[in-house]
Amino acid sequence: MNHSQRLKIGISACFMHADPARQLFTGKTLQYVEQSIAHWVMSTGAMAVMIPSPTGATQRGDVTLDHYAQWLDGLVLHGGADVSPLSYGEKPIQDKWAGDRIRDEYEIDLVAAFERHGKPVFGVCRGLQLLNVAYGGTLYQDIETQIPKALRHRDAQVYDNNFHGVEIAPGSRLAALYSNDKRVKVNSIHHQAIKDLAPGFEVEAMSHEDGIVEAIRRTDQTQPYVAAVQWHPEFHRCDSDTIDDAALLEDFLSAAAAARKKLQTP
């Protein structure tokens, strides 16, 4: 495939903020992507591009997030630090759940830029939570604290080998993608979750045991594609019985290809 024909998918950056006590990159801010999310995006031939934040203490030049949104075909928001309660009008219940407000602001601005340019956005784990907040929703800061009878959705000892069942909402786009499955098995690596769903979105899947929201999608199909899942499709292994990641990726990349074609049409 000619490189000009390949879809170019942006991946939002994770931040490791400047730390004078760190031995490597002492006092420097690092921006990075987790390898598996990049490999997932590239698995069917799309090109993955990390989008660095253009702002910060060492900012130089005139590049903006709009430049990236105009150039790229779609955006993936992936996992990482907690979304800050300050980003949805709350105070942290505990200091350890203060989250990363700087990354929140960068990603909310990034989503807005892709929205302005009519490009699709797909969220994974933190990405689902960030999208819910970006469009006006709120979160549970800690599932175990605020929903005591809920499942354990994050187990640090087993990490991505923690699983539970998910019910797919009948009639949803997700149900169409997985027409043979009403209940599926997913990995679960999160302690925050959607509390108030953002206006204009629908729930496409919920945790079977406790009703935690596991997938969302924007309902207005005349607007750019926005969808997200709480689990990590990029961690799917072909020899496992967890939900196959291929249909989710194909759905998103198809939206990216359609957006490119629409924008190229005179």
| CATH of residue 203 | 3.40.50.880
Is residue 19 domain-resident? yes
Q: Which of 107, 204, 214, 234 is catalytic?
A: 234
Question: CA-CA distance, 258 to 47, in Å (whole number)?
Answer: 16
Is residue 47 domain-resident? yes
Could you give the dihedral angle defined by the CA atoms of residues 94, 55, 128 and 191, in that order, rounded to the nearest 10 degrees?
A: -20
Q: Which of 125, 164, 190, 204 is catalytic?
A: 125
Beta bridge partners of 206: 167, 213
Tokens of 144: 């175990």
234 is catalytic: yes
Total number of domains constituting the chain = 1
Least confident stretch, 43-47, 161-165, 209-213, 246-250: 161-165
Is residue 121 domain-resident? yes
Domain containing residue 81: 8-264
Is residue 214 domain-resident? yes
Question: Which range among 13-27, 80-94, 183-197, 236-250 has the greatest average pLDDT?
Answer: 80-94
What is the percent of the chain with per-residue pLDDT over 90, rounded to a whole number? 73
Average pLDDT over residues 225-230: 97
Mean pLDDT of the chain: 92
Is residue 245 domain-resident? yes
208 is catalytic: no
Span 184-193, pLDDT tens digits: 889 888 899 9
Average pLDDT over residues 79-84: 95
> Cβ(156)–Cβ(193) under 8 Å?
no
Q: How many CA atoms are closer than 13 Å to the CA of 95, on its beta-carbon side?
A: 0
Is residue 201 domain-resident? yes
- At residue 238 the predicted structure's pLDDT band, cuts being 50, 70 and 90, is confident
Q: Which of 153, 164, 190, 232 is catalytic?
A: 232
- At residue 155 the predicted structure's pLDDT band, cuts being 50, 70 and 90, is low
Is residue 3 domain-resident? no
- Secondary structure string (H, E, C) spanning the chain: CCCCCCCEEEEECEEECCCCCCCCCCCCCEEECCHHHHHHHHCCCCEEEEECCCCCCCCCCCCCHHHHHHHCCEEEECCCCCCCHHHHCCCCCCHHHCCCHHHHHHHHHHHHHHHHCCCCEEEECHHHHHHHHHCCCCEECCHHHHCCCCCCCCCCCCHHHCEEEEEECCCCHHHHHCCCCCEEEEECCCCCEECCCCCCEEEEEEECCCCCEEEEEECCCCCCCEEEECCCHHHCCCCCCCCCCHHHHHHHHHHHHHHHHHHHCC
Is residue 163 domain-resident? yes
> Cβ(9)–Cβ(72) under 8 Å?
yes
Could you give the dihedral angle defined by the CA atoms of residues 150, 154, 156 and 157, in that order, rounded to the nearest 10 degrees?
A: 70
